[in-house]
Chain A
Amino acid sequence: MSAELSADIVVIGAGIVGALAAQRLARQGASVLILEAGPRLERARVVAAFRNSPFKGNWMAPYPPSPWAPHPIYVPQDNGYLKQAGPYPYPAEYIRAVGGTTWHWAAQAWRLVPNDVRIKSLYGVGVDWPLSYEELDPWYQEAEELLGVAGADNTGSPRQHPFPMAPVAEPWSMRRVRERLAPAYPVVANTVARNSRGYDGRPACVGNNSCQPICPVNAQYLGINAVEAAEAAGAKVIPNAVVYRIEHDVKGHIAAVHYYAPDKSEHRVTGTTFILAANGVESPKLLLLSASDTYPNGLANRSGMVGRHLMDHPSTSLTFYADEELWLGRGPQSPSSINTLRDGAFRSQHAPYRLDFTNISQVLNVTNDLIKEGVYGAEFEKQLRWRAARQINVKNVLEVLPNPDNRITLSAEKDAMGIPKPEAHYAIDDYTRRAAEVSKADFARIAELMGGTGLRYSADGQFANNQHITGTMSMGNDPATSVVDAFGRTHDHENLFVCSTGVMPTAATMNSTLTGVALALRTAEHILPAKNSHAATAHVGHETSLA
């Protein structure tokens, strides 16, 4: 065993959530150590790997898993890392690397709508959050200013202060969709961590349309930007440090974490406060792995709720040809959506949803379709041009309710380091399925308004997954039914906090990253209050004083 490392704050996981908590704590003068299981990546290599890859549609292709810190891969075949216990598959994708999964996200940086945190009280379903939307608001603002969020005001999420940036320029395709769906459906710019102008030293989006797998110009905020911010604030990152055990003392305080280097040498890191930020799958896995005689069910698991209430956003969709040329593929991949169905009295009956339009270039999909159909030669070229110009897709983003049976457990199977793999137990209930059925009418109406032909609905009962892992370490006031308190502190261990989308008690209808970051900043403030006032209300000044 090598010399022990130690820090005031030890963060497990160098993704966007953990790194932004780390940067805030480091800025307050704490010594911060971030342990990351995966390797350090460079944007240029990812860009080069993407451009050089023949599998442009496979967004995991530029992110091969490392042998010591594997992550799930499904193309060309399942690498068997995330075991599936059923009954419904949960094919989550995530990246174990410095910077985490937001290396390849669409930068959707949504707030909840206020009623999302009170669905038990208002609609009799799910659970209420232990905090209000109003309490979250300043933390959202701080998160938005760190990430550089551009957005429109009319998405159902109220705010006290303006967005850091105006929305990103609307692509032609989305303009036409907006114009043609009005007034039946208001189509608005998505709330995104993507620059509509130069911000914080990063350039504006130039529309490469490769947000996933990689923004090649750093216009989209990635976890690696958060890591760099943490490092600039004084935090230290150790890559390739696979944490396999969290160690507690006789009083139940966390004393240390243990990690393997790729050569399987063992290392122990001590600290005062520990933050678990290794996403909604790997974090509960680690808590369960750390079972001891005192805590036979794993750490922070007196309630038995660690790993339970696994949620995400299933989607069904409709693909069709519009009656005009839209030419998807110019600008960002996911620029616009319909947000009027995120809340309503119907939530007592079925899930709410957002309706999201893709703006991903259709050339690859259409080419594959045509080859499958056996179309060649001049007709191929003609069809390719016609279809690629007109094909469009709309999907729903459905809420899933917390269900203790949907869960992450430890598999009997082990990875190359001898660590048990995570296993997903998942089902999609009728509350969500009813919403999918209801949304078909929206799909049909949208197609009608766009003069749609060649309508192709996703197969009945088939849901695509959106990789918004939530719920597995839910926050709540009652230690009997939740894992962490309203500030992310585990009920069972005073110096162990969780910063993750996994602490969200419900999934709502929006991508979970911004809420995860806002909650993590709030946790950081709780651990070590900012010296000068409330940082979330002190606006970060990016303007120059030069007149």
Chain B
Amino acid sequence: MNASTCCLLLLGLLATASVHAADSTDAALLQRGQYLATAGDCVACHTAPAGKPFAGGLTVPTPIGNIIATNITPSATAGIGHYTEQQFSDALRKGIRADGKRLYPAMPYTAYAQITDDDVHALYAYFMHDVAPVDSKPAPTRLPFPFNIRLSMAAWNLLFLDSKPFAPDPGKSADWNRGAYLVRGLAHCSTCHTPRNLLMAEQSSRELAGGAVGTWLAPNITSDANSSIGGWSEEDLVDYLKLGHARGKAQAAGPMAEAVEHSLQHLEPADLQAIATYLKTVPARHDPADIQAVDSWGAAFDGVAEQRGTPFPDDAEKWSGAQLYDAHCASCHQARGEGSFDGGLPPLFHNTATGRARADNLVLVILEGIHWTDASGVHMPAFANDLSDQQIATLANYLTRHYGNPAATVDAARVGVLRAGGAPSHLVALARLALAVIALLIVLVIVLRVRRRRRRASAGRA
């Protein structure tokens, strides 16, 4: 072998090595992008039930009408395959589509605005290269007037969008900063947990003080000891985010169960720990109605034994709370509400499900149960088909009275509203009314001016 052959071989080896290095960098980048997409829970909205991942089509009900999630696969015709990285970034962080039109803030771009350039780059790489393109377009979103005018969002953004990426606080630990970045940014906790003003913008002064998502109450997750998770250990928080429940405290249901299933449980332990670290420092917001910790109410109670030997009324609407509990709940939660010995079937006392000042979430979990889409399946059965509004009201009041916060009561009418998906929103009517009033005022002003001018003119002539 001569020297030149040797050199060529060496060069060849080097070239191969560098290609491999690039490959592994790409692989790492794509993997990070996938992880970030999971942390951002993009799949939650951008995938229809039983639909293809990221192909859109899920209907997201909002107070201003149904918003239909779009296809964000790299399909050039139906998805975002034609997006440049800048366009991708603008959609993600500024709410501006490639065609310049504005997104509705159902897309949490006000939170995603915090995402760093590096992470946007990784997300872009993942969506362009690792997501399977799907060439079908979901139905377009058609909101009622005036919200169908997407340009109105530009004004909204001017008022409510803080488009600066996350800036670490040098006074805080790396762990805290990582947690803050995730909570405020990708994990977009505030989207549900921060209350919103009349214009549907998050009230940043009341970060994570409790909001709503559909009919579900997204509870206060500040550091308040009574109204929130101030009494939880960081381990409790990590458990909750990882498993969907914190033993002896709470279980994730409704949209939070989805967030845990599709996003939070897949995060690295260090990231979950960082989220816990940060949440424990969010300024406490106290609700005076919470006179003790929401996860500290109630005790074991057996209301079932005294039913023995008493015939149940023929009319099931007239069954007592204990009778309903006996027939529907006691088989899992046990006669005394203490659940199973290992906590796998949770106790109903010392449980946020029964300890809140409002019983809405309790009613909702009875109606809907807790269903995960993975192999674990039904964590709690739904009772919407088995129980009437009156029965659920009777049962929920029995549960809060004996196992939870007795101040939380509910009637059949409220159960009916929750079953129907919530009270109808007046935002559309309000917005139209506001526009009509403004139009009327403008007309009035014009009329007055014209009149005044005429009067002056006629006075001048006189």
Contact with A along B354-393 (1 / 0, CB 8 A): 0000000000000000011111111111100010000000
Please, which residues of chain A bring their CB within 8 A of the CB of B311?
52
With contacts A48-B326, A51-B326, A206-B331 taken as known, whether A197 is within 8 angstroms of B375 at the C-beta atoms is yes
Q: Does B345 belong to the interface (CB within 8 Å)?
A: yes
Contact with A along B317-340 (1 / 0, CB 8 A): 000000110111011100000001
Residue of B nearest to A43 (CB): B386
Q: Does B405 belong to the interface (CB within 8 Å)?
A: no
Taken together as a complex, chains A and B put the C-alpha atoms of A201 and B381 apart, in Å, by 7
Taken together as a complex, chains A and B put the C-alpha atoms of A543 and B377 apart, in Å, by 10
- Whether A544 and B312, one on each chain, are in contact in the complex, defined by CB atoms closer than 8 angstroms, is no
Q: Does B144 belong to the interface (CB within 8 Å)?
A: no
* Complex interface: stretch among B47-55, B74-82, B279-287: B47-55
Taken together as a complex, chains A and B put the C-alpha atoms of A216 and B376 apart, in Å, by 19
Partner of B51, one of A44, A217, A545: A545
CB distance from B251 to the nearest CB of A (A): 14
- Whether B50 and A204, one on each chain, are in contact in the complex, defined by CB atoms closer than 8 angstroms, is no
- Whether A44 and B380, one on each chain, are in contact in the complex, defined by CB atoms closer than 8 angstroms, is no
Q: Does B307 belong to the interface (CB within 8 Å)?
A: yes
- Whether B53 and A203, one on each chain, are in contact in the complex, defined by CB atoms closer than 8 angstroms, is no
- Whether B43 and A546, one on each chain, are in contact in the complex, defined by CB atoms closer than 8 angstroms, is yes
- Whether A44 and B377, one on each chain, are in contact in the complex, defined by CB atoms closer than 8 angstroms, is no
Taken together as a complex, chains A and B put the C-alpha atoms of A17 and B307 apart, in Å, by 36
Residue of B nearest to A547 (CB): B53
Taken together as a complex, chains A and B put the C-alpha atoms of A356 and B323 apart, in Å, by 36
- Whether A52 and B377, one on each chain, are in contact in the complex, defined by CB atoms closer than 8 angstroms, is no
- Whether A545 and B378, one on each chain, are in contact in the complex, defined by CB atoms closer than 8 angstroms, is no
Q: Does B350 belong to the interface (CB within 8 Å)?
A: no
Please, which residues of chain B bring their CB within 8 A of the CB of A197?
375-377
- Whether B331 and A208, one on each chain, are in contact in the complex, defined by CB atoms closer than 8 angstroms, is yes
- Whether A198 and B332, one on each chain, are in contact in the complex, defined by CB atoms closer than 8 angstroms, is no
Restricting to B236-283, which residues have a CB under 8 Å from any CB of A? 262
Taken together as a complex, chains A and B put the C-alpha atoms of A45 and B386 apart, in Å, by 11
With contacts A198-B372, A198-B377, A546-B262 taken as known, whether A52 is within 8 angstroms of B50 at the C-beta atoms is no
With contacts A198-B371, A544-B374 taken as known, whether A47 is within 8 angstroms of B386 at the C-beta atoms is no
Please, which residues of chain A bring their CB within 8 A of the CB of B330?
51
Q: Does B60 belong to the interface (CB within 8 Å)?
A: no
CB distance from B37 to the nearest CB of A (A): 10
Taken together as a complex, chains A and B put the C-alpha atoms of A216 and B330 apart, in Å, by 9
- Whether A218 and B381, one on each chain, are in contact in the complex, defined by CB atoms closer than 8 angstroms, is yes
Q: Does B167 belong to the interface (CB within 8 Å)?
A: no
- Whether A199 and B377, one on each chain, are in contact in the complex, defined by CB atoms closer than 8 angstroms, is yes
CB distance from B272 to the nearest CB of A (A): 20
Taken together as a complex, chains A and B put the C-alpha atoms of A243 and B310 apart, in Å, by 36
CB distance from B49 to the nearest CB of A (A): 8
For A45, A201, A216, A546, the residue with the greatest tally of chain B CB atoms inside 10 Å of its CB is A546
Q: Does B172 belong to the interface (CB within 8 Å)?
A: no
Please, which residues of chain B bring their CB within 8 A of the CB of A208?
331
With contacts A44-B316, A44-B386, A48-B326 taken as known, whether A546 is within 8 angstroms of B381 at the C-beta atoms is no
Please, which residues of chain A bring their CB within 8 A of the CB of B140?
none
Q: Does A202 belong to the interface (CB within 8 Å)?
A: yes
Contact with B along A177-202 (1 / 0, CB 8 A): 00000000000000000010111011
With contacts A44-B327, A52-B312 taken as known, whether A202 is within 8 angstroms of B307 at the C-beta atoms is no
Please, which residues of chain A bring their CB within 8 A of the CB of B382?
201
For B324, B327, B340, the residue with the greatest tally of chain A CB atoms inside 10 Å of its CB is B327
Taken together as a complex, chains A and B put the C-alpha atoms of A206 and B380 apart, in Å, by 11
- Whether A203 and B51, one on each chain, are in contact in the complex, defined by CB atoms closer than 8 angstroms, is no
Please, which residues of chain A bring their CB within 8 A of the CB of B326?
47-48, 51
Taken together as a complex, chains A and B put the C-alpha atoms of A206 and B377 apart, in Å, by 14
Please, which residues of chain A bring their CB within 8 A of the CB of B50?
544-545
Partner of B377, one of A47, A48, A204, A547: A204
Q: Does B424 belong to the interface (CB within 8 Å)?
A: no
- Whether B378 and A47, one on each chain, are in contact in the complex, defined by CB atoms closer than 8 angstroms, is no
Taken together as a complex, chains A and B put the C-alpha atoms of A544 and B47 apart, in Å, by 11
Please, which residues of chain A bring their CB within 8 A of the CB of B323?
48
- Whether A47 and B327, one on each chain, are in contact in the complex, defined by CB atoms closer than 8 angstroms, is yes
- Whether A47 and B371, one on each chain, are in contact in the complex, defined by CB atoms closer than 8 angstroms, is no
Please, which residues of chain B bring their CB within 8 A of the CB of A43?
386
With contacts A47-B327, A217-B381, A546-B47 taken as known, whether A198 is within 8 angstroms of B312 at the C-beta atoms is no
Please, which residues of chain A bring their CB within 8 A of the CB of B316?
42, 44-45
CB distance from B149 to the nearest CB of A (A): 34
- Whether B378 and A45, one on each chain, are in contact in the complex, defined by CB atoms closer than 8 angstroms, is no
- Whether B332 and A544, one on each chain, are in contact in the complex, defined by CB atoms closer than 8 angstroms, is no
- Whether A203 and B381, one on each chain, are in contact in the complex, defined by CB atoms closer than 8 angstroms, is yes
Restricting to B48-74, which residues have a CB under 8 Å from any CB of A? 50-53
With contacts A197-B376, A204-B378, A547-B43 taken as known, whether A216 is within 8 angstroms of B331 at the C-beta atoms is yes
Q: List 24 A-B contacts (CB under 8 A).
A: A43-B386, A44-B386, A45-B312, A45-B327, A47-B327, A48-B323, A48-B326, A51-B308, A51-B326, A52-B307, A52-B308, A52-B310, A197-B375, A198-B372, A198-B376, A198-B379, A199-B377, A203-B378, A203-B380, A216-B331, A545-B51, A545-B53, A546-B43, A547-B53
Assuming A47-B331, A49-B312, A198-B377, what are 17 further A-B pairs, CB within 8 angstroms? A45-B316, A48-B326, A52-B307, A52-B309, A52-B310, A197-B375, A199-B378, A201-B378, A201-B381, A203-B381, A204-B378, A216-B331, A544-B374, A545-B51, A545-B53, A547-B43, A547-B53
Q: Which residues of A contact B (CB under 8 A)?
A: 42-45, 47-49, 51-52, 195, 197-199, 201-204, 206, 208, 216-218, 543-547
Across the A-B interface, give the 5 residue pairs with the lowest CB-CB distance, nearest first: A198-B377, A198-B378, A216-B331, A544-B373, A44-B327
